[in-house]
Amino acid sequence: MALTGYRYPETSNPFRFNNDVCAKVQDAVITDITAAAQQYGAAITRPFVRDNCSSTEIKICGAFASADEGRKLQDYVEGRLYDWIEVAFGKECTEYTQGYTVTAVVQDVSPYPQNCLHARAYKCCELPKKYNP
C-alpha cells in the first residue's frame, strides 16, 4: 500500500510527510491489516512491515499466502482507506493542506500479479476560490 501527497502548482511552503506521520500511518495500516487477517482467516506469508517513507510517499509491504487469501480483506481494506488517509492528512483541510490531494493505493506489486487486493481512495483539499499563484 502507498499513500502519496501532491499539489500542482507547488507552493513555497509545501505540505510534506514527516517521520512521525510516516510512522503513525505505517503502524496504523500494519496493525489494522494484521488484525483483520486474523479476524477473516486470511493467511499472511510475509508480515506487513514499514517499507519506505519519504516526504511525499509512505509505503507498507507484506504478502498473503495466495490471491484468494488477500481477497478475503477486499471489503475491509476498501472501508479503511479513508481512515488511513486521515491519519496522514488530518480530518479537516487546513491552510497548509489546501490544494493538495492524498491518494491511497493498495495493489499487488509481485512480478506475477494475481489480482490479489486492489483499492484506491483519495482526499482532495481545494484551493481557496480567490487563489492566484
Residues whose CB is less than 8 angstroms from the CB of residue 35 and which lie 6 or more positions away in sequence, other chains included: none
pLDDT at 45: 94
User: Is the full-model pTM beyond 0.85?
Assistant: no
Looking at per-residue pLDDT, the higher value among 123 and 41 belongs to 41
pLDDT at 125: 85
d(C-alpha 62, C-alpha 106), whole Å: 11
Q: Which residues are 121's β-sheet partners?
A: 104
Is the pLDDT at 127 greater than 80? The verdict is no
Strand-by-strand arrangement of the 119-124 sheet: 44-53, 57-64, 2-7, 100-106, 119-124
pLDDT at 40: 97
30-69 tens-digit pLDDT: 999 999 999 999 999 999 999 989 888 899 999 999 889 9
59-111 tens-digit pLDDT: 999 999 988 999 999 999 999 999 999 998 888 888 878 888 888 888 877 66
- SS3 for 51-97, per residue? EEECCCEEEEEEEECCHHHHHCCHHHHHHHHHHHHHHHHCCCCCCCC
pLDDT at 97: 82
